[in-house]
Copies of this chain bind each other. A is one copy, B any other.
Amino acid sequence: MTEGPGEFALIAELAALFGTPPDGLGIGDDAATWPAATGTMAVATTDMLVEGIHFRLDWTNPVDLGWKALAANLSDLAAMGAMPGRALVSIAIDPARRELVLDVARGLQSLAALTGTWIVGGDTVRSPGPLVINVALFGQANPSRLLRRDAARAGDLVGITGVLGASAAALALLSEGAGPMDPAAAPLLAAHHRPHPRLAAGQVLASHGVRCAIDISDGLASEALHVARASGVGIEIDVGRVPLAPAAVELLGDRRSRELALTGGEDYELLFTFDPGLRVELATALDADGGLTVLGEVTDRVPPGDARFVEDGQPIEPAERGYVAF
């Protein structure tokens, strides 16, 4: 389930109602799992995007929209250490705009072809309302190497791939901009419109002994809290070590870029915790897909189930706890 902190109660109620199957993961991680072919585990996830809430067609063209709809799901698989896969795509659209469907499909197929994903079915229905896209994605993982939200352990370091806030910075520029976009914004717009899910990084983490990861779809603050709650540990993150998108710093300044990095959505980087003994080998192995930045640790200085930001050793509170679905 995509969720912000406001969703915890609903998710918990739904998880209790639906139950957890005895042979795999149910609601509560980036994806569900169940036994598949010998030595593998089926992994499945879904994301729904609604026009006016998750995208605007005056800011995102339909080809990019298709790409992003699949990217969000691929990122969930990456965060499980899984690979795609097959996808089912549902689209609700006003018949008067029906020609958009093929453009959305082209964007989906571009990223599908890049990542070894087959789009094998779906549903196209009419709607009087906003354009809605749902992608359900299936992949597989090695059951003994699954990356889970609930596997952070005391003493672990907290790492991320890539830089944060680029997509949110692009969104900020798009929502402010009347005039033409500054050419320096190009990398931010690319991160926003054509995010590359960290599938290779997820494989690196899984194969090097990391067991706890989540993707940063709803902001660092929110995702760190998810890991802390699921694992029953305290997480401390040093905001001074959060890697910012250089173009965001250039165009929006250091302070705003930092805030967007902590609370902005759609970064699709991986947040993970790992034994300090893995640090050197992980840094090398992740070099090909996002690199490694260590920005915090799992510590009893923070109460179990909470995640806190510190700056120069002092606690700070980000403006908000990330994206809230409702």
Which residues of A approach B to under 8 Å, CB–CB? Answer: 1-3, 7, 10-11, 13-14, 17-19, 21, 24-27, 31-32, 34-38, 42, 44-50, 52-54, 86, 88-92, 95, 98, 101-102, 105-106, 108-109, 112, 118-130, 132, 134, 136, 138, 325-326
Are A46 and B10 in contact, CB atoms less than 8 angstroms apart? no
Cβ contact of A38, chosen from B21, B27, B38, cutoff 8 A: B38
Are B44 and A88 in contact, CB atoms less than 8 angstroms apart? yes
The verdict on A46 contacting B121 (CB below 8 Å), with A10-B101, A32-B86, A130-B129 known, is yes
Q: Which 9 A-B pairs have the closest CB atoms?
A: A129-B129, A136-B136, A32-B120, A48-B90, A46-B88, A134-B134, A18-B119, A32-B121, A21-B118
The verdict on A27 contacting B326 (CB below 8 Å), with A44-B138, A90-B46, A134-B48 known, is no
Complex CA gap A161/B93 in Å reads 33
Of all chain B residues, which has the CB nearest A93?
Answer: B326
Complex CA gap A285/B210 in Å reads 52
The verdict on A86 contacting B44 (CB below 8 Å), with A18-B119, A109-B17 known, is yes
Of all chain B residues, which has the CB nearest A28?
Answer: B121
A21 partner residues in chain B, CB cutoff 8 A: 86, 118, 120
Are B102 and A17 in contact, CB atoms less than 8 angstroms apart? yes
Query: Given known contacts A32-B121, A44-B86, A124-B326, what 9 new A-B pairs fall within 8 Å (CB)?
Result: A1-B121, A10-B98, A18-B109, A18-B120, A19-B118, A27-B119, A46-B89, A132-B132, A134-B134
Are A90 and B134 in contact, CB atoms less than 8 angstroms apart? yes
19 residue pairs of the A-B complex, CB under 8 angstroms, read A18-B108, A18-B109, A18-B118, A21-B86, A24-B120, A25-B120, A32-B88, A35-B37, A42-B86, A47-B123, A48-B125, A50-B126, A88-B136, A90-B134, A124-B326, A126-B325, A127-B132, A128-B130, A134-B136
Complex CA gap A31/B136 in Å reads 13
Complex CA gap A26/B86 in Å reads 9
Complex CA gap A24/B119 in Å reads 12
Complex CA gap A315/B120 in Å reads 37
A44 partner residues in chain B, CB cutoff 8 A: 86, 88, 120-121, 136, 138
Most buried by B among A52, A108, A326: A326
A52 partner residues in chain B, CB cutoff 8 A: 127-129
Complex CA gap A8/B13 in Å reads 41
Of all chain B residues, which has the CB nearest A98?
Answer: B326
A108 partner residues in chain B, CB cutoff 8 A: 18
Complex CA gap A123/B53 in Å reads 14
A34 partner residues in chain B, CB cutoff 8 A: 86, 118, 120
